[in-house]
Chain A
Amino acid sequence: MAQSIALNLAQIAFVLLLSPLFAGILARCKELVQSKRGPSIFQPYRDLRKLFSKDERVPAGSTWIFRTAPYVIFIVPLTITLLIPVLTNFPLFMAFAGDMLAAGFIFAVSGLFFTLAAIDGENTYGAMGASRTRMVGFLAEPVIIIALFTVSFVANSTIPYIVQQHWVHPIANFFAPSHILLLIAFFMIILAETGKIPVDNPSGHFELAMVDESKALEFSGRSAALVKYGGYMKFTVLAVIFLNVLTTPWGLASSGSPAAVLLAAIAVSLKIVALVLAVVVVESTYAKLRLFRIAEFLGAAFVVSVTAMVTDLLHL
């Protein structure tokens, strides 16, 4: 049990330490595609250090929600890290405390607090961004639900550690249409939930067009750092669910020895970098959708996930 807890802590350390790096690589690669030099891949770490050492200001009329929200946003991805296989392919201490649905619900908590804090911050743009994020969230919800239905139909479980083993034993499962279509739908959901093009432009500075970013406008100092950090970790955690649970459950440590865990950390980092490159391709080749076209993007994701379920129900 002690080893199990130690490994859980290692997983948290992995997410905590490397998330800003993945964000940095994403930003850098996007700039490189546009023939610019771009900031160093370690820039997110510097940003966080700067923000953590700055003074914090809060809007005069705001309540406790505005002050607590950054901590919730920061803690939630770390909580989910306890439930999912980040580095090991055997269940850890908290593995059976919650399944993928639970992970979805816990993410919803941070979304709720972020929304409330944005409205609480008394910035008009904050409330606008909050309502837009809710719109994207509502439209993404059915896709997530259908995707999880499909997972539970196919693998007879929604515990990530069990689902993970299902896709590759036997290998024919990997090519099952429900699996591939599920991956497409889930990838679209990752783009929508983490505010990437084509749903939202993460590097946009025009408040009227913002979806996700404008919620964080009023945060400063330590709160801003926590919100930013939470955003980086949310992407990493979703990427880990996508890669380790749904796509490629290879390269994980099968024993608890430090060498195996270190090797797994390297392998998982490489996988996440590969996903980041895929996101760079999507972000560089598509334009941001108009606000009311987002419904069509997520409608397409819904069609894909329902098709995944239907082809599985056929028992081909």
Chain B
Amino acid sequence: MTTDSIPVVRTTCQGAWWRGLPAGLAAFVLLALVAGPAWGMPQEAAPEYRALPFISSRVLMWAVAELHLMFAAFVLAVPMFALVIEFIGYRTGDKRYDQLAYDFTKLLSVSFSFTATLGALLTFGLLVFYPALTQYLVKIFSWTFLPYVLLFFLEAFFLYAYYYGWGKLSPRLHLFIGLMLNLVGTAIMFIANAWLTFMNTPNGIDDMGNLTSLWEAINNYTWMPINIHRLIANVAFGGAIGAAYGAFKFLGAKTLAAKAHYDWMGYIGIFVAICALLPLPFAGYWLGVEIYAYDQSLGITLMGGTFSWLFIVQAVLIGNLFLAANYYLWLSMARIPGAERFRGFIKYLLGVITLCFIVWATPHSLVATVEEARAMGGSHHPILNVLGVMSAKNTAVNLLILTTYVSFLLYRRANKEATVSWARIGNWIQFGIFAVVVIYVVFLGVYGYFVDAQTRIGLSRPQVLSVLFAMASVTVIDLFLFKNAKSRGEIVWGKISARSQYALFFLAITFTWLMGLMGYVRAGMRQHWHVYGVMRDTSVDAFTPTLGFAGGVVSAIVIVFFLLIAIVFFLAGLSGRKDWTPKSGSRWNEEETTVSTEPA
């Protein structure tokens, strides 16, 4: 087992340009110092592993890989919605959107350098600590490095062009550069994903581990599912971090205008994150199916065996995500006149969310003392058992999604009063759709207990489709219902409590922690293999650690990530500052003002 990682061979000094070069060099020197003792030892042939004093090399590589991944996810995700927002601004001519897109983009350049630096660190680390594994992967994937490096160079070019060219190029050209940035970024991720999915589900090799088909090695069982899963998850993650930036600036804002702008930014960010969160369970489901298809025992290790408790922790995280997202929407209603009307609904929504949360977090195998087991008459509880299985959990997650949607719906119509003649009927139709879909989803969940497993797995599809149908049809009705609606007053951006901004931080931290945890399990399910079924991990770190240990490492990674992201926020904030001027009028004054107002 290694880390969540992409064995990235980043020869990227040219990619990071002047920014990445010194950082990369510094990282290299640092690493040379750290690994010095190991290199100094007399070498007998090529060692398979090298160790570090004080910290296990696996944990170090784990942290570096995960941090690299988080920054990479951020750098890939932000251009996606920045481009969309910029496009909206271009079409509507509304300057606010343009400004918002630019605010998101400001976070990119420093993050990009961090990504490159961490990638370089990861590469050096793999070479130093896992030379045999690295050598093997390089042997398999040598032909993919060239396009990777080329793409990385293009990524750097488009990214800086997109950032520095803001407002300086024609809007169409700028949008085109943004599009290219996204395409190149996605291609880079696809290549890196090939390397790491190969480690989980190797393909295209013979019994001796020699490459027979590079394309099959790339297009292995989990490559496409991981590509899609990561693409969506990146957007959710990027949105959440962007929202955290908005919250950070909001709390520090002095003027009402700034408060309004950053409140809006936080709202948009979290809106993007939640929208991307909703389809994520289905992408994850596909990934799971492919893992089972590749090797049953790999699937069972993941879902039923060693890692089954990890998914209870995951349920706690996702339950918290939904709870916090709804909480933020409820608090956001404070900025809308007329929202008081919907206050009363909150407790019912909260009740449903809590119930679903409880169902989702109920484990299938219980932790019970002997006394308790005797009282239950066995190791399974007759009632909890009903909640611990797939049918109940699928139903719970579908209802969670629907409840979040209802919260959003209430938020959306908070200051609106329908003026169309059929308003009353329209409301009833919407309510009817919800009622029918909820009953249908619950019915399918209950029905699942009475059919065999094969049919039960098939039931999740109509559940999902009916929820999607409800959300789509209600949205369409809502659009017509509130056409020319009477307004109870404009949304007062910036009129919101500090608590809500902490909810945004909470969401960002929870997203990050969740990403760290799932990264761990994706790599961890290989257990004592570097490349599953092909290359054994024979290092001292071949064991799978306890969940508590893994949780500790993930927590540490998350804290370090936020320290680094704080630096990104700080640097991004500099560009908004006024030019530095000496206290008293001196002769430096004139020169200072001619210096560029764009410290990056």
Is chain B a partner of chain A in the same complex?
no
A residues with a Cβ closer than 8 A to B are: none
